[in-house]
Amino acid sequence: MSFSVAIVGRPNVGKSTLFNRLVGRHVAIVAETPGVTRDRREGEARIGPLRFRVTDTAGLEEARADSLGARMMDQTQRALAEADVALLVIDGRAGVTTADQHFAALLRRADAPVILVVNKCEGRAGGGGIADSHALGLGDPVIISAEHNEGMNLLYDALAPFEDEAGGPAAPRARGAGGKGRAGDILHLAIVGRPNVGKSTLLNRLVGDERVITGPEAGITRDSVKVEWSFEGRRIELVDTAGLRRRARVSGSLEKLSSRDTRASLGRAEVVVVLFDATEPPAKQDLNIADSLAREGRAPVIVMNKWDLVEEPQGVMQDMRARLEHVLPQIRGVPLVTCSALTGRGVDKLMPAVLDVYQKWNIRVSTARLNRWLSEAAEDHPPPLAAGRRVKLRYITQVKARPPTFAAFISRPDALADSYRRYLVNSLREEFGLDGVPIRLYLRKGKNPYAKK
C-alpha cells in the first residue's frame, strides 16, 4: 500500500504550488492573495518512481471559535490526523515568522512525523530562512523551489523511507468506462449551483463526514474539492464546486480562477447534480447551466434543496417541472429530487437517481433492435416528401455511448424537418428507456454503409 502526505503551513508560503508540482498538473488554485485554499484537496502524487497520496490544506492561522478560520483549521487538523507524514512549508525569502514558530511547536506534539520544507529558495533566495529554520526544532530542512521545480530530489530522499514503512508502492487502481458500469469503474459526479445553495452541505451529507467547510458565508468554496467515495459498492469521484454566477458578474482574478476551475471540473464530470434553493424562484442562470450541461453531453440531475422550508411544495414542484420542460425540451424526464441536505431528509433518493441516469447514459443498443425500431417509426409516422418523393430512412446505428449517440443514413438529410428529427429522438427515448439523458442523432446521406455490395 502507499502512504499519505499532508502539506501544511501558514498562508502564502507556496503549499498549493507544491501540491500542483507533486500531482503533475495545475489542480489547486494559486494566487498572490493569502488564504486562497480553504478546504482539503487531495491528489495522487509522484516524485520519480515514488508514489503517494498528497493533501493540500488551508493556511495555519489562529482564529476565534466558530469563525471561518476555525473551520479551516479543523480541516487542516483532520488532514494531519489522517496523514502518515506532514510537510511543514515555510517561505525561505520571508524567513521564520512567529506563526511558523507557533505551528512548528504544534506539529512537534502531533502524532505524524514532520518534514520541514523551506520553499521559494530558487537561485540565491532564501538564505536567511534556511539558516533560521534550524531553530524550529524539526531537524535539517529540505530546500526547494516548488515554482521552479528545484530540490525535488531532496524531497524524494526525505519521503522515500515512508514508502518502505507502508510496504512498498500501491497497486494502480482500476479505472474503466462504458457499458452499464462495472464494479471497478469510477463515476465522476459533480455538484454545481449558485453560491450558498448547500452544495458543500450536500457533499458532507452524502459521504457522512465533515469533508468540506460549510457555513452561512456565501462563496466559502473556492477550489473544486474532489472526494473519492463508495456507494453500494460503486466507486464515486464526488466534486464540490465553487458557486457559479453569470460571467458578467464574475469580477476579480480569484473569482475568475474559481469559475474557471468549476467549469474544468464540469468538463470531467459524467453526471452533474444541479442544485437549487427550493425557497427561492429558480434562477434563469441555473436553468441555463442545466441546458448547457445537456448540450455538452452530461447527464443532469436536478435537486431542490432546503425542501423542508418550502411552504407550498405542490405549487413549487409544478412550477419547477414547467420550467424544466421549457428550458430542457431536448431531455424529457430529467430526474428531479427534493431533499434537505441539512437534515438529511430525502437525500437517500439522490444516489439511486444518479445511478439510474448514469446507466442510461452508458447504454448501448444493438443495430438490429435499432433498425427494427426505425422501420416501425417510419411506418407509424412516414417521413415528409421532398421534390415529390418520400425521404427514405435507410439505416441507423449507435456510434457511441456516454451520451447515447446515433447515426441515421437517409436519402435527403437536408429535406428532413427539425420537427421530424425531434420525433425520431423522442421515439428513441421512449422505445429504449432513455428518459432523462441527452441523445445525439446525426443524419447522414447515403445508403446502408454496412450492406453487402
pLDDT (0 to 100) of residue 453:
52
Residue 214 and residue 239 share a domain: yes
Residue pair 191/273 in contact by the 8 Å Cβ criterion? yes
Rounded average pLDDT over 365-394: 93
pLDDT (0 to 100) of residue 158:
95
Residue 281 and residue 412 share a domain: no
Q: Is residue 351 part of a domain?
A: yes
Q: Total domain count for the chain?
A: 3
Residue 217 and residue 318 share a domain: yes
173 pLDDT band, cuts 50/70/90, is: very low
Strands (E), 77-172: 85-91, 114-119, 142-143
315 pLDDT band, cuts 50/70/90, is: very high
Residue 310 and residue 228 share a domain: yes
Which residue among 329, 361, 393 closes a domain? 361
Residue 35 and residue 116 share a domain: yes
265 pLDDT exceeds 70? no
Instruction: Mention every residue, 6+ apart, whose C-beta is less than 8 A from residue 62.
Output: 69, 102
Average pLDDT, the chain: 83
Q: What percent of the chain has pLDDT over 70?
A: 80
Which residue among 132, 166, 200 closes a domain? 166
409 pLDDT exceeds 80? yes
Residue 357 and residue 245 share a domain: yes
How far is C-alpha 99 from the geometric centre of its chain's CA atoms? 33
Q: Is residue 290 part of a domain?
A: yes
Residue 271 and residue 197 share a domain: yes
d(CA 324, CA 284): 11
Helix, strand, or coil here: 375? helix
Residue 326 and residue 425 share a domain: no
182 pLDDT exceeds 50? no
What CATH number is attached to the domain comprising 415? Answer: 3.30.300.20
Q: Is residue 175 part of a domain?
A: no
Residue pair 307/345 in contact by the 8 Å Cβ criterion? yes
Residue pair 236/204 in contact by the 8 Å Cβ criterion? no
Q: Is 11 exposed, middle or buried (0-12, 13-18, 19+ CB in 10 A)?
A: middle
Residue 322 and residue 196 share a domain: yes
d(CA 19, CA 278): 37
pLDDT (0 to 100) of residue 136:
93
180 pLDDT band, cuts 50/70/90, is: very low
Rounded average pLDDT over 440-450: 79
149 pLDDT exceeds 80? yes
CA distances, 153 to each of 7, 48, 86, 138 (Å)? 17, 9, 18, 20
Instruction: Mention every residue, 6+ apart, whose C-beta is less than 8 A from residue 436.
Output: 299, 331, 332, 333, 334, 335, 356, 357, 360
Residue 292 and residue 143 share a domain: no
Which residue among 166, 196, 225 closes a domain? 166
84 pLDDT band, cuts 50/70/90, is: very high
Of 45-54, 78-87, 225-234, 256-265, the least confident: 256-265
Nearest partner of 217 among 72, 328, 31, judged by Cα: 72
d(CA 421, CA 431): 15
124 pLDDT band, cuts 50/70/90, is: confident
Torsion of CA 393, 395, 399, 402, to 10 degrees: 50
Instruction: Mention every residue, 6+ apart, whose C-beta is less than 8 A from residue 72.
Output: 38, 58, 59, 61, 63, 213
Of 24-28, 43-47, 118-122, 340-344, the least confident: 24-28
pLDDT (0 to 100) of residue 254:
43
Instruction: Write phi, then psi, for 235 (nearest 5 degrees).
Output: -80, 130
Q: Is residue 267 part of a domain?
A: yes
Residue 77 and residue 12 share a domain: yes
Summarised one tens digit per residue, pLDDT across range 274-297 is 999 999 988 777 788 888 888 889
Structural domain of 342: 186-361
Rounded average pLDDT over 141-158: 94
Rounded average pLDDT over 107-115: 86
For residues 347 and 290, the model is more confident at: 347
3 pLDDT exceeds 90? yes
Residue with cell 428507456: 433
Q: Is residue 180 part of a domain?
A: no
β-bridge mates for residue 398, sequence order: 406
pLDDT (0 to 100) of residue 256:
52
Residue 15 and residue 86 share a domain: yes
